[in-house]
Amino acid sequence: MMTAIAPPQSGQRLALLIQYQGTHFHGWQRQVGQRTVQEVIEQAIASVVNHPVSVVAAGRTDTGVHAAGQVAHVTVNSPIPAHRWPGILNARLPADVVIRAAAVVPDHWHARFSALWRRYRYTLYTDPCPNIFLRPWTWHYYYAPLDVEKMAAVLQPLLGRHHLSAFHRSGSNRAHSWVEVQDVSCQRRGALVEIEVQASGFLYGMMRLLVGLLVQVGQGQRSPASFTEIWQQEQRHLVKYAAPPTGLCLLGVGYPESPFPLALCTEAMPQFVTPELSIA
């Protein structure tokens, strides 16, 4: 069992804007014997301030999941000004993690509990021809054509506050499955299909389970009515397939007053481009 690291009794609280490629990480959360994003960032900070630190993220991404705009906070005993922290930490971090910005925030500000929303994008690459540059960031799904308009339409009833236990993996210590879904979209751009969901919070495994079921609708294996009935009737046993983690990316996190300029956050949201190919 892991022992929590107590934050320093005094010091400044920093908000961090973080990007990482999740391919070689066992998720965000610190775990004994596993390489995690939280651990490598905490080690980098501790090497500067010479005391243990605990970095708290807005959301705990799973193994293999990426982040374009993860936000976290940490309290440090250090006179180093906020604008210098990204350069100092990036010199100590591995190549698959980047601190894009840092800002001083009030002591009561919390990366997780102060957040209003999180936004995820899942990307599928549908051309049969492999693309090595897209492989780490997408699900190469070419087995059957996808009806993207049908997929987009079936997402709309998810808007609002719902009990989404059908998309909740076991192993979570969350006491309930209520989620306020604020925005949804599904669109095709060339050979890519992009599914985005913005919500107050996300359940453990929610996006990957949702995409797995949504793809069944797109390929005609499941009807739109069946998709909606499954989550409305909380039929978790019928959601059998989770999309692979490679296509999932945490795009950003929203706050009443963001510690970072809006442009800095939105420009961090990657969007791949493929030629307009003839796809089945």
Tell me which residues are annotated as active site: 62
Length of the chain: 280
DSSP H helices in the chain: 37-49, 85-90, 148-155, 206-218, 224-232, 262-266
What is the DSSP-derived secondary structure letter of residue 144? S
Q: How many of the other CB atoms lie within 10 Å of CB of 62?
A: 19
Q: 248 pairs with which residues across the strands?
A: 122
Q: How many of the other CB atoms lie within 10 Å of CB of 177?
A: 18
CB 86 within 8 A of CB 102: yes
- Is 120 labeled as ligand-binding? yes
What is the DSSP-derived secondary structure letter of residue 41? H
- The one-letter amino acid code at 205 reads G
Q: How many of the other CB atoms lie within 10 Å of CB of 153?
A: 13
CB 18 within 8 A of CB 40: no
Going by their DSSP bridges, the two strands 192-199 and 178-189 should be labelled as antiparallel
Q: What residues are designated binding site?
A: 120
Q: What residues are designated binding site for substrate?
A: 120
